[in-house]
Amino acid sequence: MEDVDIKGHTREEGAPAPDVAEGSGGSAAGVDEAASTSEKKAKKAESSRPRRNKKKDRDDAAEGKNKKREPRNRRRATKEEEAAALERKALAEAQGISTVRYPKRQSALLIGFCGSGYSGMQIQPDGIKTIENVLFKALVKAGAVSQDNADDPVKVSLARAARTDAGVHAAGNVVSLKMIVTVPGVKDLVAHINSELPPEIRLWGFVRVQNSFNARLVCDSRKYTYYFPSYLLIPPKPDSNLCKVLHRAHSGSVETQSPSSLHPFWQDPSSSDATPEEDMERKRNYRIGPTEMEHLREFVKQYEGSHNFHNFTVARDFNDRSNQRFMKEIRVQDPVVHGNTEWVAVMFHGQSFMLHQIRKMMAGLVLSCRTGTSPKIVNELYKSNTVFIPKMPSLGLLLEEPLFNSYNGRVAESNTKLQSTDPDYRPAIDFELHREKINAFKEEFIYKNMRGIEDRSGLFDAWVRSVDSYAGKDLLWLNREGQLPADCVIRKGERRTHPFKEKRVFDTTSFPSEAAFIKKQLIEEIAAEEESEEEVFDKRQLAETEG
């Protein structure tokens, strides 16, 4: 067996081990001589190094502190971008706008707007008129956004709490961005920005927020209200296509309903040959009863909670996890009469909403209640079968406000040891501070517009007549049993023989004062076959439409 010594040499078992102090000469003296030689070499190497200039090091350090650090990985601007920047600077100087850079602070802007005439909330390219396009230009003019960032809202991290469709109004919404909050020569920045905005868009106020704040991601939930005339709950006219189709499917008979089974509104003998204008005059005087109100309130309870709302939006498969939405509360408010028309308001409080979700939920509510459909149908609509649900008109939809309860709780806890004047103090996002101004704005710019269009043109009546004229099978889910007949189920890849086609005029909230305008638009759409079915979107577009 072999042994191994400390130098890795092998020796036979039993052989004497070498001296531990073995050196080049095999003795302790050799070790001392080697150590002395090593020390001499180390001293020689030390003496050959350049001496350190401590004064120069101190000067270099001081210069480094004063020298601005170059940003990493910064892309060099192209000649076109440099030219555009110089052009913006020259234009700003010509307009008397300062091009000096001022510090930006992450802020939350509390705004409200009447959406009539605008192509929705979200900023769009190519000069499309949207709320954010107009707001951003006003912020630049007011000096709250610098000229360096005027060409791209992404540079200031612009985000919104809730996105609204074209024409939809908002009493309250929140936009977050990095904003210049101290503009030289401006004492009241809110008033200064409002002076650059049209009267239908208002800035209620702004608050400093935490640096990581993003209005869409931090928002807990949203509140919307939908308004509609109560006469929409009158059942379909007995000789209408929808009435005939539903009666045939329900009873198996082609006979129309007997006069004794008709709704009281249609029992008037003169109603059978009345013109739409004559019917409209009588509908204005209709008043909803306690039974109908109870039916509405019972029905909306089926919407509350967490459900798969794939049938209440567009372009979503049943298995898409994003269809799962949580409705905190849905409340039907008592009816109110304005002019000759009675209005009903339904408040929706949900975590978030998909494209057209509220308008389709409202159509499900109104059409079910006016046809005596069982509330059980809602649970069927949450299941895997796909059916068609039309959209109610955009005119009745209003975003009340987004809520930030979790964020407000966090900043309240952080503020406990701070004064309101402390730089780290962050106020809560609270629309109640501006409630008086908001209510006045809603009355002047939103409610008057909504009621005025309805009073002049009967927009909601035109919508319900377009539904009642449908003679196909897409709406057979409207039945007293609350069942989903196979004839109304949409199967992927199969062409429907008589699909329901929606009219674009009901996606609009801005109309000329001409009373017959909507009627003319409907005639033109039908004649030109401009009706369209459900929109087609990719996943990225669908994500952008949520709010």
3-state DSSP call for residue 229? strand
DSSP 235: P
Which residues face 224 on adjacent strands? 348, 399
DSSP 181-199: ---TT-S-HHHHHHHTS-T
Q: Any known ligand binding at 224? A: yes
R_g of the chain computed on alpha carbons = 36
Measuring CA to CA, how many Å separate 244 from each of 272, 292, 469, 507? 15, 23, 10, 28
Evaluate whether 161 touches 189 at the Cβ level (below 8 Å).
no
Task: List, in sequence order, every residue forming a beta bridge with 456; answer none if it has no partner.
Answer: none
Q: Largest Cα–Cα distance in the chain? A: 134
474, 534 in Cβ contact below 8 A?
Answer: no
Residues 183 and 162: their CA atoms lie apart, in Å, by: 28
Least Cα distance to 362 among 462, 482, 534, 233 occurs for: 233
Gap between the Cα atoms of 443 and 452, Å rounded: 12
Question: What whole-number distance in Å separates Cα of residue 53 and Cα of residue 29?
Answer: 41
* Strand partners for 175: 109, 160
Q: Active-site residue numbers?
A: 165
Three-state DSSP state, 504: helix
Q: What secondary structure does DSSP assign to 471-495, as a single string? A: -SSTTTT--TT----GGG-B-TTPP
Q: With contact defined as beta carbons under 8 Å apart, do 287 and 230 qualify?
A: yes
Give the Cα separation of 68 and 500 in Å (integer): 65
For the CA atoms of 57, 60, 64, 66, the dihedral, rounded to the nearest 10 degrees, stands at 120
Rounded-to-10 torsion of CA 466, 467, 470, 473 = 160
Phi, psi of 346 (to 5 degrees): -120, 120
Integer Cα distance of 159 and 473 in angstroms = 42
CA distance 429 to 219: 10
Q: Are strands 397-403 and 169-179 parallel, antiparallel or unpaired?
A: parallel
Would you list which residues are annotated within the binding site for substrate? 224
Binding site feature residues? 224
